């Protein structure tokens, strides 16, 4: 993954970033967040343009709001 843009703060204590595999047309992407207050990290991988995997949570519903929105915008269903 190459970071597509700068890291930015969201929802108070979250540092958020996203990116994709270079020269891949967006079929392999990821978004991640780090909570600076708790040290917890979260990530969502979108691979082959169809499969999602989440890290740092037991299910997608527990993702921080920016990652949950990204997941849903990519076509992910809860």
The pLDDT assigned to 7 comes to 85
Q: Is the dihedral of CA 29, 10, 33, 63 positive or negative?
A: negative
Q: CA 69 to CA 32: how far, in whole Å?
A: 12
Answer whether 36's CB lies under 8 Å from 13's CB: yes
* Two tokens, residue 4: 């597509």
Per-residue pLDDT, 20: 85
- Supply the pLDDT for residue 41: 97
pLDDT at residue number 57: 97
pTM of the full predicted structure?
0.86
pLDDT mean values, one per 10 residues, the chain (78 residues): 74 90 78 95 94 96 96 94
């Amino acid at each position: 993954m190459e970071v597509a843009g700068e890291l930015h703060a969201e929802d108070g204590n979250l540092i958020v970033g996203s990116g994709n595999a270079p020269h891949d047309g967006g079929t392999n992407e990821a978004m991640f967040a780090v909570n600076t207050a708790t040290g917890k990290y979260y990530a969502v991988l979108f691979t082959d343009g169809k499969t999602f995997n989440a890290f740092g949570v037991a299910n997608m519903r527990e993702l921080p709001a920016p990652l949950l929105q990204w997941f849903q915008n990519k076509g992910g269903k809860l």
